[in-house]
Structure 1
């Protein structure tokens, strides 16, 4: 059987200054690590032989209908603006249209492009496995996200600070790879025609009911507010919330030094490149507003009266913190069994979080244990929980089925950092069994399993992961 991908490409029909046409760079000896059969079926992709898929998903061969390119974009990285970024190690093979939706098929780690900025364009095995596991886990957790279709070894080595490492390529699927930075790319060049083309393309692809740049801004803000609230409700820290990593589709994308918290501390940072905590857990709600302000700035040139647009867009952006907060309150209310938390319920939520921080409670296990009556075991001082529980129990009397609400909102399993790192180290020795096991357990993260209790356990002191790293 031959691999068949029903490409229906549209981005490549945009003006050529949107991208650079380029084939992936070939590799020495590709081999297939994983292929996502369920996602392939959803996309209408017919699998081929393992050897053929290794050739295609490594970039050595192009499937029929592919129109490979590297996308151009700009972006604010840790607050500093770079007018020229772009896909430095990625290659968009094309798009699949399915049931009214459109999905990008992209190779990540497929070699240098004109946008590589002195990088080698390659990825090593660790970040490929990390993104595969985390993106699929996020999908199972119900979070809008890019997904993993395949992972391949290249048979070559890449060199990082720690030395030679096995090279790998990830095949990533997203509703699009259009970023805030894509709009910034054209705005920085005062390319109004390009901005208009991009605006019309995004509206047609993602927001067909939207009329005008202001409505687009509001629609993107609404999706991003919900997304970041959802991240925070799961203890997820993106790590690099640059504007070039913020999508117009409202998906989580670019899993670099991302991580899930174990012990709850609102100022938690894992990313080795986030020196000042710009993208700390609790600051994500502020950063997304800042990123949307940059999108608003990039959209202003499309407005007929720009002075009036600046005033109107500013009011819209200033209203976003409350949007994020409302979404946060709803998510965290559900985590403690409240179907529709009100402003009056906020002190109850905040009080629990404060006590969790003071007691170094595990974020995921504490919330899950609320529905099992074992949450006090997560506290260094169980009496701290007992004082909170009294008020909480009174509030739950007003709810119809709080236990079900909590179990639906609180997973048993997340991709814990120490398990991900252990999985990567095992894979470096050629054993991918822990990788496949994590994928299996995390595909149903709300259902406890007797054979997976170790994946729900917080790290021992010797297992704690202090930092996570980008793959470049």
Structure 2
């Protein structure tokens, strides 16, 4: 593995991480390598790439660490989390800029607590498939560079399972919880160093904590609006899973909606519906308020800082509303205005009333077959007449509304087959999801699940 390593995070104050090499695995075997992404990063792999992507070999120039962070988990404060099963190999500098290279499932670290630091096929292949699908949909996200089988057996509640490691890349791995970790320890030195690092990685135009917070709030609002536009439910929007650069990170129990239920949840650990689809904007704003609180030690006047930061966080709602309106206006082929807002609300209400499929309904607007999904609703004829009168750019809708998403039942079927030794469904889904806006020629990948296929819960897999 050859890469242009330039490890800026490992040069920060030592309390921000622990030096940590990946724990070697028994028999690394490649499952998939994202050669296109490797080219984008300027990384050159040889045939022995599985050894590097499993952590058995370390590329010259890498500087492996495990990062420190804290977080609110379902609203409850945990002062020490950190990379419990992940190792940041370092940062590569290539044609598209600086990117972290991180191994998940790389073994125990100083932050593992009682965990084994490993991962099995399920969460590895889920994250690989869905993060790459999100990228193809144009939504900011971590990327998947490789997945490797370890040749080891991992014990989970389901029993013994085949072990795996995923290598993911990101513009950074700086979370809201990273700032919280140092703020909670009154470590202003580390907090200031982290702020400079986050600005350099994400918001070079920012010069102060105030400007950084403003940029982070705006990017988070844009991200959540994009999630809403594809029916994506993250499932664990804890502050340690909230990225300050406004990218999607950590795909544990995430899911895409089939039938449209505004307060839909899937995550087995979200028993109160805290991170339901419709709650995501409010919880993202709450996370940004925690970021603001963590940044307060960097202000010269705390009272003035509270006033300023409160105003910035309260602006989340207006930014989100504007971004949401723009996303859904594009999905129905119109420009944002009050009439368009009313059409969007009317469409979503009809979909919710009859439990219509979110993805299929919006795709049907493009194909002229929306009546097959909503035609029985008493409000449909009037809504459709008003929509047509508004002059939608129907020819553009196929480039906005995907024909295919990684549906939950297909993801679960893929995992089950992979565990049994068959990766064909994974590769077929992966190929199809690379071009989500083109017409998919595999009916099974497009269709909503049958009643017997419906997945009601998803799991973290840790």
Give 1:302's match in structure 2, choosing from 298, 308, 320: 298
The aligned counterpart of 2:325 is 329
State the SS of the aligned residue for 1:156.
Answer: strand
The aligned counterpart of 2:109 is 113
The aligned counterpart of 1:466 is 456
User: Which whole-Å deviations, capped at 9, do the CAs of 1:45-102 have from their partners, x for residues lacking one?
Assistant: 11210xx111111111111111111000011110011111100000000111123621
CA contact (8 A) 1:359 1:381 kept: no
Displacement after TM superposition at 1:381 (Å): 2.0
CA contact (8 A) 2:86 2:107 kept: yes
Mapped partners of 1:404, 1:322: distance in 2: 30
Structure 1 unpaired stretches of 5+? none
Matched, 1:433 2:429: no
Mapped partners of 1:384, 1:166: distance in 2: 51
Matched, 1:406 2:406: no
Equivalent runs, 1:137-148 vs 2, <5 Å? 137-148=133-144
The aligned counterpart of 1:75 is 71
Runs ≥4 in structure 1, deviation > 3 angstroms?
none
State the SS of the aligned residue for 2:111.
Answer: coil
State the SS of the aligned residue for 1:39.
Answer: helix
Q: Scaled by the length of structure 1, what TM-score is found?
A: 0.96
The aligned counterpart of 1:29 is 27
CA contact (8 A) 1:376 1:382 kept: no
The aligned counterpart of 2:447 is 457
Greater shift, 150-159 or 4-13, is seen at 4-13
Matched, 1:8 2:6: yes
The aligned counterpart of 1:366 is 361
Matched, 1:284 2:280: yes
CA contact (8 A) 2:375 2:381 kept: no
State the SS of the aligned residue for 2:149.
Answer: strand
The alignment of Structure 1 onto Structure 2 pairs a total of residues equal to: 462
The aligned counterpart of 2:179 is 183
Displacement after TM superposition at 1:404 (Å): 3.1
Greater shift, 93-102 or 376-385, is seen at 376-385
Give 1:249's match in structure 2, choosing from 232, 237, 245: 245
CA contact (8 A) 1:359 1:380 kept: no
Give 1:197's match in structure 2, choosing from 160, 183, 193: 193
Matched, 1:385 2:380: yes
Mapped partners of 1:425, 1:92: distance in 2: 29
Matched, 1:63 2:59: yes
User: Which whole-Å deviations, capped at 9, do the CAs of 1:6-26 have from their partners, x for residues lacking one?
Assistant: 211111000110000011111
CA contact (8 A) 2:440 2:446 kept: no
The aligned counterpart of 2:128 is 132
Mapped partners of 1:121, 1:190: distance in 2: 29
Displacement after TM superposition at 1:322 (Å): 1.4
Mapped partners of 1:126, 1:215: distance in 2: 40
Greater shift, 312-321 or 228-237, is seen at 312-321
The aligned counterpart of 2:314 is 318
Mapped partners of 1:159, 1:236: distance in 2: 29
Structure 2 unpaired stretches of 5+? none
Over the residues paired in the alignment, what is the CA RMSD in angstroms? 1.1
Q: Scaled by the length of structure 2, what TM-score is found?
A: 0.98
Mapped partners of 1:82, 1:195: distance in 2: 18
CA contact (8 A) 2:40 2:95 kept: no
Mapped partners of 2:431, 2:265: distance in 1: 28
User: Which whole-Å deviations, capped at 9, do the CAs of 1:408-456 have from their partners, x for residues lacking one?
Assistant: 2100000000011111111111111111111110000000032x22101
